[in-house]
Amino acid sequence: MSTVDQFESVFKAAAKTHYVHEKHPLGKVLLVTDMDSAEAALYLQTVKTFLENVLPESETDWLLVSQNDFENVKDLLDKVEEHRPDLVITYRNLKSDAWRWPYSLGEHLDVLTQVTSTPVLVLPHPDREDSTDFLARPPETVMAVSGHLCGEGKLVGYSAAFTPSGGKLILSHVEDEATHDRYLAAIEKIPEIDSEVARETILSRLLKDAKDFSESAQTVLGEADLGIEVECHAKVGRRLEDYRKLIEEDHVDLLVMHAKEDDQMAMHGMAHPLAVELRSVPLLLL
Amino acid sequence: MTIFSPILASTAGHAVAPNVTYLFLGLLACMILCLALEEKIHAKKSVIVGIFSILALFLGAWFHLLPFGDVGSLVIGGHKISMPVYIPGVDWEVIAIILGSSLFVDVTSKSGLFTWVAVKLTKLSKGDPLRLLILYGVMTVVFSAVLNNVTAMIIVGSLTGVSLKKLDRSEKLLGFLLIEGLLTNIGGLLTLISSVPNIIVGKTAGIEFVDFFIKAAPYVVIATVITLWLGSKLFKISSLKSDEERASAKALVAGFDENEGIESPGFFRFGAIMTFVFIGTVAMTSQLPVINELGLGFVALAFAGIMLIRYKAVADRFYKAIDWDLLFFFVCLFAVINVMEHAQVLALIGEWLKPILALGDKTGPACLLVASAAASSVTDNIPLAAMLAKILGGMPDIAANPDSPYWWAVIFGSNLGGNITPIGSASTLVSVTIIHKYGLKLSFAGFVKIALPYALIQLALGVGYLILVS
């Protein structure tokens, strides 16, 4: 006879997480730069143009923090606390030339992304030779990145908010192949668990949850009449490598991901390596 | 009972020394005690009864009680057939019904039919706790009646855990699971195939499926309504008050996808049709030509066989899932009871029952119902039902009358007794298992304390109903 566990599994699978669309406020934006005032003002115009489709001038209150407004991390945090923006826009390695090497985000950004609850949009460093190219064209294709997309309503909501009408939103979910293989190897050593069933079902279940949530988001965002195209990519692979491929293949203009984790101080799972290594793509860190 | 029983009955009249009868009575008492302490001695039912069947058969042979001569030279259809002495005593029809129907239910459940119904009802409740309790309660009763009470508890209990967690109402889980557990034994009264005591007693008494349903249904409806009403009051399960709460609960249950468990829409439809045809065929077995000769066991096995065609390549998975403990328990139990019959133990217990039977057609069945319920509450209700069915079947006045209130006293008592303690029936035990699975604390005494008011009301209602209809 079927057991409690078998039926419970069916009902747990039936209890799907649906996407509920919430509009996130983006009316007050703080641009943080380490440039002097004149350069910062010019940079502000570039950023405004870059984001004009999603942050229209008429609806957005722009604030600027430049070189002389902060000396250290504490000063910067105080400025953010003082202005209480809905969004912080900056770039990596403030007040440092370490942006040339793909090993860190810099002390300011490391702390800022963890301490404040405000989303941080990280743009390619302005001193890069190709920086102006990146900011010349407003983002059209936005990709939400998650290792467990199911239930990530906030991630989808912000990603949708940064996708302009007529643009494309890609909801991507990459299951880490190495972790999956490690669990399967452990299962193969447990006589009580059928290895064949585990091999056939675990991965498809993980991907199905992500696909179901994406489909729900697709429906809800369609009903919200935002004029955006929503696509879902759920696959197994080597996370960083596969995200890189997805970004290249789909010509992604903006990457959105979670940076915070409830039970740790450091940056969220895959967010850190992605944020550090993908230096030519604007990143929205939630 | 079976085609072999008349042969065995003829040997049951052998003179047996009183001390030998008491020895076997002691053996029977020990077996019942061990079954009552099943959890404490960490032994499966089949092993307990299996050991006692070995002992009973050995001692039966030692004291020359067993009809070796008769079973060694059976002539059936002109063919001489020889078989072991412990085989003819087993009611294979009952075994076939249990095996066939559990296999049918198990394969049909793979179609997603039962989970579809369960999720649809959850959505119909719109997440309102009181409406959820009523719908789950009715579903428990119907599933217990149509499938069996253990499967009903497994389906409804597991859904209850998931849906209350989703609705963020886990604090109501104990109340829901307990009420559902109690309702399985009420629903178990509804049809001839709903519970094993019904099958055993109904078969012995010769009660038809439709007659059984007509007689049991009014009681089941009243007892269900009262149990749900009392449950909602004692566990403070009420409707949602504000529009905001209602909207939030509705959105949460709307997240359930009833189609999730459906692998193939074709097989889902086939499963639904076959379930209705199965119930119809079971109900009409005695009226259908050819089928009426083959019996309910054939119907159950045939439907299980038809359903297995869908899974023909992996049918062994379903065989592995069969509750072999339960089936071996029955086989061994029938063997023990058969030996007890030869040892005149059943005749002795029948003598003890005579004062109850002498109380008349109203008081007698009422007392037998209460006594059966009390006995069922502390030990398995199946041996009790099997034993009493055999004893009553040996009484010509009762045996000749399928409408005798004594049969119904045993049916009501053995089913409702399961609601007094957590070990009284397999389905209440499943409900307690699910309660513990969710980390809720409920001791044996705690269960009795909570369940006793329900059980007493249900028993009083049963006694009143029996007096009214007899």
Q: Which residues contact A125 (CB under 8 A, 6 or more apart)?
A: A91, A92, A93, A99, A131, A279
Q: Judge whether B449 and B420 are in contact, CB under 8 Å.
A: no
d(CA B281, CA B297): 12
Residue range of the domain that includes A77 = 4-285
> What span, in angstroms and rounded, lies between the C-alpha atoms of B235 and B253?
22
B105, B147 contact by CB (below 8 A): yes
The answer, yes or no, to whether residue B7 has pLDDT greater than 50, is: no
Does B119 contact A17 at a Cβ distance shorter than 8 Å?
no
Q: Which long-range contacts (CB under 8 A, 24 or more apart) does B308-317 make?
A: B308/B103, B308/B107, B310/B107, B310/B110, B310/B267, B310/B270, B311/B107, B311/B110
DSSP conformation letters of A137-168: S---EEEEEESS-TT-HHHHHHHHHTSPTT-E
Contact A8 B162 (CB under 8 A): yes
User: How much is the mean pLDDT over chain B?
Assistant: 89
* Interface touch B255/A7, C-beta < 8 Å: no
Contact flag B150-A1 (C-beta cutoff 8 Å): yes
| Whole-number Cα distances in Å, B326 to A1, B102, B377, B382 | 11, 11, 19, 10
pLDDT tens per residue, range A97-133: 888 887 788 888 888 888 888 999 998 888 887 777 7
Q: pLDDT band for position A264 (50/70/90)?
A: low
Angle at B103 between CA B99 and CA B107, to 5 degrees: 175
Q: How far is B192 from chain A (nearest CA, A)?
A: 20
- What is the rounded CA–CA span in Å between residue B381 and residue B223? 20
Shortest alpha-carbon distance between residue B322 and chain A (Å): 5
Q: Do residues B160 and B177 touch, judged by C-beta distance below 8 A?
A: yes
Rounded alpha-carbon distances, angstroms, from residue A86 to A24, A257, B156, B362: 9, 16, 46, 80
Report the Cα B99 to chain-centroid distance in Å.
13
Q: How many domains does chain A have?
A: 1
The C-alpha of A95 sits at a distance from chain B's nearest C-alpha, in angstroms, of 48
Tell me which of A5, A6, A7, A208 to substitute to probe the interface with B (most B C-beta atoms closer than 10 Å). A7
Measure Cα distances from B149 to A107, B14, B91, B204, B213 in Å.
Answer: 64, 40, 21, 21, 16
Shortest Cα–Cα distance, B82 to chain A (Å): 34
In this complex, is the C-beta atom of B285 within 8 Å of any C-beta atom belonging to chain A?
A: no
Which residues of chain A does B157 touch, with a Cβ-Cβ cutoff of 8 Å? 4
Here the CATH number for the domain that contains residue A201 is 3.40.50.620
Q: Find out whether A55 and A23 touch, Cβ atoms under 8 Å.
A: no
**Residues across chain B:** 470
B312-358 pLDDT per residue, tens = 998 998 998 888 888 898 899 889 989 998 999 988 888 888 888 88
Of A1, A11, A13, the CB nearest to B159: A11
DSSP for A208-220 reads HHHHHHHHHHHHH
pLDDT tens-digit profile of A141-155? 999 988 788 888 899
Would you state the pLDDT for residue B100? Answer: 92
Q: What are phi and psi of B426, to 5 degrees?
A: -65, -35
Instruction: Output the pLDDT for position B298.
Output: 95
Count other Cβ atoms within 10 Å, centred on residue A260: 17
Say if residues B83 and B74 touch (Cβ distance below 8 Å): yes
pLDDT in tens, B158-198: 999 999 998 999 999 999 999 999 999 999 999 998 888 89
Which has the closest alpha carbon to B408: B238, B220, B155? B220
Looking at every residue in chain A, the average pLDDT score rounds to 87
Whole-angstrom CA distances from B105 to B99, B123, B154, B155, B160 are 10, 24, 12, 12, 20
For A213, name the nearest residue in chain B, comparing CA atoms only.
Answer: B255
* Site from B162, B165, B168, B429 to mutate, A interface, most A CB atoms within 10 angstroms: B162
Contact across the interface for B118 and A8, Cβ inside 8 Å: no
> Do B162 and A11 lie within an 8 Å CB cutoff?
yes
Which one, of A143, A141, A150, A195, lies nearest residue A171 by Cα? A143
Between chains, do A4 and B437 touch, taking CB under 8 Å as contact? yes
Q: Residue A230: what are its φ and ψ, rounded to 5°? A: -115, 130
Tell me the CA end-to-end span of chain B in Å, nearest whole number: 24
Cα gap B381→B399, rounded to integer Å: 21
Q: Residues A31, A47: contact at Cβ < 8 Å? A: yes
Measured CA distances, B294 to B119, B194, B211, B282 (Å): 37, 20, 20, 12
Q: How many other CB atoms sit within 10 Å of the CB of residue A41? A: 14
Buried b (16+ CB within 10 A) or exposed e, B13-52: eeebeeebbeebbebbeebbebbbebeeeebebbbbbbeb
d(CA A177, CA A190): 20
- Residue pair B390/B337 in contact (Cβ under 8 Å)? The answer is yes
Exposure of A254 in the CB half-sphere (CA atoms within 13 A): 28
Beta bridge partners of A285: A120, A257
Q: What is the pLDDT of residues A201-257, one digit of tens each?
A: 988 888 898 899 999 999 999 998 888 999 988 888 887 788 888 888 888 889 998
